[in-house]
Copies of this chain bind each other. A is one copy, B any other.
Amino acid sequence: MTAVSSDAPTDLTGLAGRATSTRADTRETHQRLIDAVQAWVATHGAPPERLADIAAMADVSTATAYRHFASHDDAIQAFVLQLPIRAVERFTESGGTTDDPVESFARWNRAWVDACVEHGELAVHLRSPIGFLQRRDEHDPVIEYACAQIEPLLEQLDGDTTMMLFMWNVTSDPREVLDLQRLGWSPDAIADFVTRAVLATPPATGAPTA
């Protein structure tokens, strides 16, 4: 169960774009391009459609941007990853997994809700039209990263892990978390609702066994 925190750095290297240099100015440019995705979404309410747009927003040449990201989709992915990365950080700060599987899962949901409150307002504009389980099967890197955190927690609980994963995804979507927050719910109340909704996932009778 230590996988949750120790996997993170390994996974991220491959996910955060092309840059492998550790020179400070290169890392700074990399971060500036990721921040430019955020600025673009905040300005336009929609994801950027060309890497050149992101480069211009970051005040970086398009050629330089291509040394960091293969495409605008790559840069968007690096931005979207900040939400689960932040959730993992907060989960680790809160003590991570415990001997009690339900408590561990509840802690994760609290960390996730906090990350949504911090980063979610822009993430809602970047939702994929492709389903969560399909993207997991197709090895979408962001989904794989998130599942690497959640699945070990779900496997400790009674029930069908895939259906609990489905239920976790739909109830903890940043859009829904922010919807409940707007109604005046506390992060604790939202996280508690997600935890109990997943624990109450009905069995998938009549469905083919995956």
User: Which residues in A have some Cβ–Cβ distance to B below 8 Å?
Assistant: 45, 124-125, 127, 129-134, 163, 166-167, 170-171, 173, 175-176, 178-180, 182-186, 188-189, 192-193, 196-197, 199-202, 204-208, 210
Q: A125-B129, A167-B197 are in contact. Are A205 and B178 (CB under 8 A)?
A: no
Pair A131/B179 contact, Cβ less than 8 Å: yes
Pair A133/B183 contact, Cβ less than 8 Å: yes
For the complex formed, measure the closest distance between the CB of A171 and the CB atoms of chain B, giving whole angstroms.
Answer: 6
Q: Within 8 Å CB of A167, what residues of B?
A: 171, 197
Of the candidates B45, B192, B201, B205, which one forms a contact with A206 in the assembled complex, judged by CB atoms under 8 Å apart?
B192
Q: Within 8 Å CB of A171, what residues of B?
A: 167, 170
Can you name 23 A-B pairs with beta carbons within 8 Å? Answer: A124-B130, A125-B129, A127-B129, A129-B175, A131-B176, A131-B179, A131-B180, A131-B182, A132-B176, A133-B179, A133-B182, A163-B193, A166-B180, A167-B171, A180-B207, A184-B207, A185-B207, A186-B207, A189-B207, A192-B205, A193-B207, A197-B201, A199-B202
Pair B170/A189 contact, Cβ less than 8 Å: no
Of chain B, the residue at the smallest CB distance from A191 is B206
Q: A133-B179, A173-B170, A183-B133 are in contact. Are A202 and B197 (CB under 8 A)?
A: yes
Pair B180/A170 contact, Cβ less than 8 Å: no
Of the candidates B127, B130, B183, which one forms a contact with A208 in the assembled complex, judged by CB atoms under 8 Å apart?
B183
Pair B179/A134 contact, Cβ less than 8 Å: yes
Q: Provide the bound-state CA to CA distance between A207 and B181, in Å.
A: 10
Q: Provide the bound-state CA to CA distance between A204 and B134, in Å.
A: 30
Pair A184/B208 contact, Cβ less than 8 Å: yes
Q: Provide the bound-state CA to CA distance between A127 and B183, in Å.
A: 21
Pair B124/A178 contact, Cβ less than 8 Å: no
Pair A188/B176 contact, Cβ less than 8 Å: no
Q: Provide the bound-state CA to CA distance between A182 and B134, in Å.
A: 8
